[in-house]
A and B are shown apart, each in its own frame.
Chain A
Amino acid sequence: MTKQNSPLGKNLWFDGEFLHSFTIDNATYSLFPQATPFQLPLKKCSVVGNGGILKKSGCGRQIDQADFVMRCNLPPLSSEYSKDVGSKTQLVTANPSIIEKRFQNLLWSRKTFVDSVKVYNHSYIYMPAFSMKTGTEPSLRVYYTLEDFGANQTVLFANPNFLRDIGKFWKSKGIHAKRLSTGLFLVSAALGLCEEVTIYGFWPFSVDLHGRFISHHYYDNVLPDSGFHAMPEEFLQLWFLHKNGVLRMQLEQCEPLLQSST
């Protein structure tokens, strides 16, 4: 959402809810940047999913080599993972549900949140604030919190119209789910913003290409609620894009680690 595309008083419909709309008021409008803050077009982008396939992949360096690194849902970036997932971040998404679960909606202590996003340095935090009615307040609170603490991160709010259009597009391609995953939204956005897109950690199966079992995420093995996302279908679409050369999907281990492990 920017001041340009969302003028004051504009009425917008939540994209994740049925028949709910909101009007941009003065207080909300003031939180938007004037225009999209990226230098377009971006050259090389890495989109990092959180799939367990990243574990022991050694892709960290390759990911960091990109000009623009996008990550999903505030993933952990501590040193134990940096070899596999890198440490650079330009944009990271955050779901309001995470804010609610991990940070009590930022209603009480906020320092833990501010400390936890410090790993993302000067990055943008991309929040689908206007997808669900319940997500708006926590998302705005992320903005207030980071501003209060003078943090390096900047909050950007996802435009519900953009998210809805992407949803419609993929639905026409045959992805039937309640909602697309953040990863697919991010890949779609990256394809529009970058010249060259490489995606990592997109592998929604419990075994890797060599038949080895992998965890659900590279950092934990908490399985999601079933029936919300249609991951395998999304993966199939991404695989087609990989086949057609629209983007590059990294599934194997990246070179350096392969050598060291053999």
Chain B
Amino acid sequence: MGYSDPSSSRDLLGNRTLFFIFICAFAVVTLLQQILYGRNYLKRGLQFSWQSGEELANWTGTFNFTDDGALKSGSDTGTRYFEFYEGPFEYNSTKCLELRQDIIEVKVLSMVKQTELFDRWKSLQMCKWEMNVTEANLFKSTLSRCCNAPAFLFTTQKNTPLGSKLKYEVDTSGIFHINQEIFRMFPKDMPYYRSQFKKCAVVGNGGILKDSRCGREIDSADFVFRCNLPPISEKYTVDVGVKTDVVTVNPSIITERFHKLEKWRKPFYEVLQVYENASVLLPAFYNTRNTDVSIRVKYVLDDFESQQAVYYFHPQYLINVSRYWLSQGVRAKRISTGLILVTAALELCEEVHLFGFWAFPMNPSGIFITHHYYDNVKPRPGFHAMPSEIFNFLHMHSKGILRVHTGTCSCC
């Protein structure tokens, strides 16, 4: 048959066959993607529809599950009791070990319902937190191998020599040539060294901070990181404190609120002045658009004779940090500034405390909170994977690597 009809054998590599091969290849690639990027895609899709929306689209799709969450915590009297129980259990008591284990055994965020996770987290609050030195040191040594913040957090004259070519983090084709002008702006060497600070506070901007009265506790830290020019005016001081040692600025804020610093510059300078002597940290080499605005920040501060230092994230550090967290299951277009700062803080400080890191629409007790402590502007969906980041923090809290504060502070 094959010999009698030569046209059918020719079709082996003809249009139809090629088309079929393409479809097969596409199917295989899609399948691989599913496996690589969504291990529990199927489970999630079937059982917990709230989760799929949550992890990818941040806070959209909240209304599928929120009323459920509020109901649950309202009716669950067992956990309610613990809320007023002021941490009487010692860190090493069996009860606490169990409670911590409850959280650690949640391997992926979608394994349990969000309300269940909240309940476990809430129960854990009655345990005192202590740093687990072995766990913490293990984690820190992992970080020092992958990321090495004490040497590579900022671009410095040491790690970015004159004439070298700096690769952008996302614009892979973009290369920045370090010329004299830029080189001059870099610090000689990293201003911080490993475990320099005893107690650090990383302050996120989550709505959970509102009415937390954690200001004094934050201010008591030796070193305070803040993200994205948050307001720290008098109105917020009780909840968020004022001490700031490093504040990050997202170039998009400069572009939107300060016209890329091409027009007036004083308003921007005045905003920075609020943080007194805090260093300003910018992702100048994240993509090509960020560079000019970020460099301009340095000029602004120099022009106004400010004492504040300006530092730029080293793009390689950011790549390494993203890569590390990707391996830990944080899948997003970009990890949040908060996560970067926490990662850096873990290497620069002995003890790291997190405030305002809670990326859910309600607090652990199921009461709705605003997105930020100062406003309720929702972010672009699908950019950061906040819940997944927070989930990692909760894990690390349970392991004793860092401490996540989500309740009100007892002092004052």
Binding site for B on A (CB under 8 A): 107-111, 114, 137, 140-141, 144-145, 147-149
Contact = CB atoms under 8 A, between A and B. Distances in A.
A148 B295 CA distance: 18
A148 B265 contact: yes
Interface pairs A-B: 10 shortest CB-CB: A148-B266, A111-B303, A109-B299, A144-B264, A144-B263, A148-B265, A108-B299, A110-B303, A148-B264, A109-B303
A141 B263 contact: yes
B263 A140 contact: yes
Contacts of B296: 107-108
Interface size grouping (class) on chain B: 10 to 19
B256 interface: no
Contacts of A149: 266, 303
B67 interface: no
A155 B263 CA distance: 14
Contacts, number: 31
Nearest to A108: B299
A137 B262 contact: yes
B266 A108 contact: no
A114 B265 CA distance: 13
A174 to B, nearest CB: 42
A109 B262 contact: no
Contacts of B302: 109, 111
B257 to A, nearest CB: 15
Given A107-B296, A108-B295, A141 B262 contact: yes
29 contacts: A107-B262, A107-B292, A107-B296, A108-B295, A108-B296, A108-B299, A109-B299, A109-B302, A109-B303, A110-B265, A110-B299, A110-B303, A111-B302, A111-B303, A114-B303, A137-B262, A140-B263, A141-B262, A141-B263, A144-B263, A144-B264, A144-B265, A147-B264, A148-B264, A148-B265, A148-B266, A148-B269, A149-B266, A149-B303
A176 B387 CA distance: 71
Contacts of B299: 108-110
B177 to A, nearest CB: 17
A22 B313 CA distance: 41
A145 B264 CA distance: 7
B114 to A, nearest CB: 46
Contacts of B303: 109-111, 114, 149
Given A108-B296, A111-B303, A114-B303, 16 more contacts: A107-B262, A107-B292, A108-B299, A109-B302, A109-B303, A110-B265, A110-B299, A110-B303, A111-B302, A141-B262, A141-B263, A144-B264, A147-B264, A148-B264, A148-B265, A148-B266
Nearest to A148: B266
Contacts of A141: 262-263
Interface in B244-296: 262-266, 269, 292, 295-296
Contacts of A137: 262
